[in-house]
Amino acid sequence: MNSPSPSSVVILRFSLGLVLGVLIVSSVLTGCDRSNSVATDPRGTKALSLLNVSYDPTRELYAEVNRQFSAHWRATTGQEVSIRMSHGGSGKQARAVIDGLEADVVTLALAYDIDSIALHSGLIAPDWQHRFPHNSAPYTSTIVFLVRKGNPKGIKDWGDLVKPDVAVITPNPKSSGGARWNYLAAWGYVLKRELGDLKKLREPKPAEDVANAQLKARQFLTELFRRVPVLDSGARGATMTFVQRGIGDVLLSWENEAFLAVHELGKDQIEIIVPSISILAEPSVAVVDTVVDRRGTRQVAEAYLQYLYSPAGQAAAAQHFYRPRDASAVPVELLRRFPKLELFTVDEAFGGWQKAQREHFDDGGVFDAISKPRLSEP
């Protein structure tokens, strides 16, 4: 006969310990939780909190802006405000807000993502882009190249990306906002090269030229994506692949991301190449109307976004490698870091984000079509 007593004593002690542990831990934690929620309770007269839902590369920028704005708000109103951050891929973040993440403000990579929140949930008024100056985009950026130190493949401009032995790293345009800017920048470069002036896109006359240019652009992008060995889902992942894993000869990247990568990951490994022409990337901001009205935070939320346009906000943006809209109050040595290049907008080259998204990135769009020929390859 088995004699279970000694082992069941052990198991009994163990389960007793487990239960006790669970009790202690959970009571301690709920205690912590409660104190937390009191501190951030929006109904409290003194303590205000905002949730800023943003995309990946803005972490450093908003860490700084939040610190400054809290001090600014305390000085002007006497109220404490704590700003909480959520970062992730731009599309994923927009999706989270649509599904109920209680963001007071959104600061995303593309106007398209904020449009989507307005369209799919009605949490943001459709005219959000007119609420703040410059299409509600307080800072801009562009797309540049990162290459290995010394530029061994001699990459100078977009045309060099399709040289036979070049491997290009970009994230997936389906999932990454930055990658969509990359793609559109390359497309716009070909249009400009073929047409000489993007204004011709609007003119009805040389319709054949335009069609031809669009075809050339499509061929260029097909060639370009043939040279992409890894498609990460987000901009940061792509930077890691290029720098840490040593894959690829050139990384297409946000300008601010590229500066940061050189700064954080080593000047001795990589360098920035600025192409002749690129796209004007306008990361957009908006107040989430329904949420701020419910939580009573509209005033502070609007002041927060407005602060981005103030001299201090613009300087902070420049400090973190975003191009300021209003350079007047920004120290010259910060401005000097931004190279001059020709920039075109999404509206000029593609007739707005909605159209660009539908034609190029939605399922069955151009990007799907150009990534398909891979089927026939071995």
Partner 1 sequence: MLIGGGVPSALTGFSASSAVTAERPVVRWALIGVAIVFLGLFLVIPLIAVFLQAFEKGIAAYFRALLDPDTQSAVRLTLLVAAVAVPLNTVFGVVAAWAITKFEFAGKNALITLIDLPFSISPVVAGLVFVFLFGRQGWLGPWLEAHGVRVIFAVPGMVLATVFVTFPFVARELIPLMKAQGTEEEEAARLLGASGWQTFWRVTLPNIKWGLLYGIVLCNGRAMGEFGAVSVVSGHVRGQTNTIPLHVEILYNEYNVAAAFAVASLLATLALATLALKSLLEWKVARQLAETDAKP
Partner 2 sequence: MRLALKRHGVLPGFGLTLGLTLSYLSVVVLLPLTALLLKAARADLGQLWGAVSDPRVVASYRLSFGASLAGALVNAVFGLVVAWVLVRYTFPGKRLLDALVDLPFAMPTAVSGITLTTLYAPNGWIGKWFANAGIPVAYTPLGVTVALIFTGLPFVVRTVQPAIADLEAEVEEAAASLGASRWQTFWRVILPSILPALLTGFALAFARGLGEYGSVVFISGNMPMKTEIAPLLIVTKLEQYDMVGACAIALVMLGVSFLFLLAINGLQWWSRRYAMS
- The reply on whether position 362 binds partner 2 by CB under 8 A is yes
**Nearest distance from C-beta of residue 244 to partner 1, angstroms:** 8
**Nearest distance from C-beta of residue 73 to partner 2, angstroms:** 33
372 binds, among partner 1, partner 2, none (CB under 5 to 8 A by kind): partner 2
Bridge partners, residue 105, by sequence: 52, 287
Q: Are 55 and 89 in contact (CB under 8 A)?
A: yes
Which of 176, 93, 146, 148 is CA-nearest to residue 256?
A: 146
Identify the three-state secondary structure at position 170: coil
**Nearest distance from C-beta of residue 174 to partner 1, angstroms:** 15
Q: Which residues are CB-contacts of 70 (< 8 A; sequence separation ≥ 6)?
A: 80, 81, 82, 83
Q: How many binding residues for partner 2 (CB under 8 A)?
A: 29
- The reply on whether position 120 binds partner 2 by CB under 8 A is yes
CA geometry: angle at 177 spanning 67 and 200, to 5°?
Answer: 120
Q: Are 354 and 206 in contact (CB under 8 A)?
A: no
CB count within 10 Å of CB 60 equals 16
The interface region with partner 2, picked from 132-140, 181-189, 229-237, 317-325 by CB under 8 A, is: 229-237
Which positions from 232 to 261 touch partner 2 by CB under 8 A, shown as an x/- string?
Answer: xx---x------xxxx--------------
The interface region with partner 2, picked from 170-178, 180-188, 303-311, 340-348 by CB under 8 A, is: 170-178
Q: Are 240 and 56 in contact (CB under 8 A)?
A: no
Q: Which is nearer to partner 2, 178 or 313 (CB)?
A: 178
- Candidates 33, 41, 293, 368; binder of partner 2 (CB under 8 A) is 368
**Nearest distance from C-beta of residue 25 to partner 1, angstroms:** 5
Q: Are 52 and 83 in contact (CB under 8 A)?
A: yes
What residue type is assigned to position 350 of the chain? Answer: F
**Nearest distance from C-beta of residue 115 to partner 2, angstroms:** 11
Q: Which is nearer to partner 1, 87 or 131 (CB)?
A: 87
Q: Are 319 and 263 in contact (CB under 8 A)?
A: no
Q: Which is nearer to partner 1, 53 or 108 (CB)?
A: 53
The interface region with partner 2, picked from 54-62, 139-147, 188-196, 366-374 by CB under 8 A, is: 366-374
CB count within 10 Å of CB 128 equals 22
Residues lying near partner 1 in the complex (CB under 8 A) are found at: 1-8, 10-11, 14, 18-19, 22, 25-26, 29-30, 32-33, 36, 51, 53, 56, 59-60, 84-88, 96, 98-102, 120-121, 236, 240, 244, 260-261, 264-265
Q: Which residues are CB-contacts of 151 (< 8 A; sequence separation ≥ 6)?
A: 271, 273
Task: Give helix 90-98 / helix 111-121 axis angle, nearest 10°.
Answer: 20
56 binds, among partner 1, partner 2, none (CB under 5 to 8 A by kind): partner 1
Which of 142, 141, 136 is CA-nearest to residue 309?
A: 136
The interface region with partner 2, picked from 12-20, 172-180, 199-207, 325-333 by CB under 8 A, is: 172-180
- The reply on whether position 92 binds partner 2 by CB under 8 A is yes
- The reply on whether position 149 binds partner 2 by CB under 8 A is no
Distance CA 258, CA 247 (A): 16
Q: Are 124 and 135 in contact (CB under 8 A)?
A: no
**Nearest distance from C-beta of residue 73 to partner 1, angstroms:** 19
Q: Are 252 and 168 in contact (CB under 8 A)?
A: yes
Q: Are 312 and 72 in contact (CB under 8 A)?
A: yes
Q: Which is nearer to partner 2, 95 or 216 (CB)?
A: 95
Which chain residues interact with partner 2 by CB under 8 A? 89, 91-92, 95, 98, 116, 120, 172, 174-175, 228-233, 237, 244-247, 361-363, 368, 371-372, 374-375
